[in-house]
Amino acid sequence: MSTNTFKPALIVVDLQEDFCPPNGSLAVAEGRETVAVVNRLLELPAFVLRVATQDWHPQDHISFASNHAPKKPFVDFATVVNPLNPDEPSYETQLWPDHCVQNTPGAALVPELDPAHRLDEIIKKGTNKDVEMYSAFYDPFTNPRVSDSGLAGKLQAAGVTHVYVVGLAADFCVRCTALDSLKEGFTTYIVEEGTRAVNGAGWPEQMQGLEALGVRVVRMDGPEVALLKS
Ligand SMILES: [Zn+2]
């Protein structure tokens, strides 16, 4: 592959205190163990853009079970209606414990991330209280879209061809980010060692589903990562 057809970007999804043990309110098992892998990726010379995201919710966010008492996190759902168009079909979204509330310690990126400050940009998502936004790109509504981070435009402006996704959690925000990356036309990889799932037991099946849709789940010792070293 010639260099003019390979312009990779790295998207580091939600490596935040609330998603990591030991203190995160929505800690993903082994979540903090992804950081060393992510830092190794950040060092690789080929990336033309290195972006991190932060889940960044207002306290009244629709995904917090506490805003839907007596509903419970992890087991109950809420209906999301497009606040700009109530006629667009609604969707059901899983409820969570309060997490990543704007300007709280739990919303901070983990301090071990990127000690050399190689990140080009940090994008905040989930800022609109009325919609869930797992993806780093935009919320699920399309008619019209409610919240758009501008990430697609930034990747296009940088001439990006390939997107490598890591971070938390594999089965929610990483998965949705990868699917939207694919939809935007980028060859899309998830680096397996750089992510962990909320539901670890269900992740192998989710991986198969992603592969069936065209996202490739790759390994640190695989050829897709080797390409980044030159
Ligand atoms: Zn969230």
CATH class of the region 3-57+105-229 = alpha beta
What's the 220 CA to ligand 1 centre distance in angstroms?
Answer: 27
In angstroms, the CA 89 to CA 129 distance is 18
- From 18, 55, 100, 173, active-site residue: 173
Strands in 14-153 per DSSP E: 49-55, 77-80, 91-94, 121-125
* Residue 125 bears catalytic tag: yes
Element (H, E) at 225: helix 223-226
Please count the CA atoms within 13 angstroms of the CA of 224 that sit on its side-chain side.
19
Percentage of the chain lying above the pLDDT 70 cut:
98
Residue 112: CB atoms within 10 Å: 13
Mean predicted confidence (pLDDT) in 93-118: 96
- What's the confidence (pLDDT) of residue 230? 82
Q: Determine the average pLDDT of the residues in 169-179.
A: 98
Report angle CA 178, 66, 171 to the nearest 5 degrees: 20
Helices vs strands, H then E, count in the chain: 5, 8
Closest CA to 191 of 67, 9, 41, 4: 41
Q: Where are the domains of the chain?
A: 3-57+105-229
Cα three-residue angle 42-194-134, rounded to 5 degrees: 100
Mean pLDDT of 135-162: 97
State the average pLDDT for the chain.
96
Rounded mean pLDDT, 74-96: 97
User: Is 20 an annotated catalytic residue?
Assistant: no
Q: How far is the CA of 63 from the centre of ligand 1 (A)?
A: 7
Asked if the model's pLDDT at residue 71 lies above 90, the reply is yes
Catalytic residue among 20, 114, 125, 180: 125
Distance CA 64, CA 69 (A): 10
Question: How far, in Å, is the centroid of ligand 1 from the Cα of 108?
Answer: 13
pLDDT at 116: 86
Mean pLDDT value of segment 51-59: 98
Residues 6+ apart with CB under 8 A from 42: 10, 12, 50, 114, 116, 118, 119
Q: With beta carbons less than 8 A apart as the criterion, state whether 72 and 95 touch.
A: yes
Is 154 a catalytic site residue? no
Beta-ladder partners of 77: 94
pLDDT at residue number 93: 96
Q: Which residue from 180, 184, 185, 178 is spatially nearest to 215, judged by alpha carbons? A: 178
Per mean pLDDT, which range of 115-124, 185-194, 213-222 is the poorest?
A: 115-124
Q: Which amino acid is at 189?
A: Y
Q: What is the mean pLDDT of residues 97-104?
A: 98
Q: What is the pLDDT of residues 19-54, one digit of tens each?
A: 999 999 999 999 999 999 999 999 999 999 999 999
- pLDDT tens-digit profile of 196-206? 999 999 999 99
Arithmetic mean of pLDDT, 122-139: 97
Label residue 65 by pLDDT band (50, 70, 90).
Answer: very high
Question: Helix, strand or coil for residue 144?
Answer: coil
Q: What is the pLDDT of residue 115?
A: 87
The band of 4, judged by pLDDT with boundaries at 50, 70 and 90, is low
pLDDT surpasses 90 at 1: no
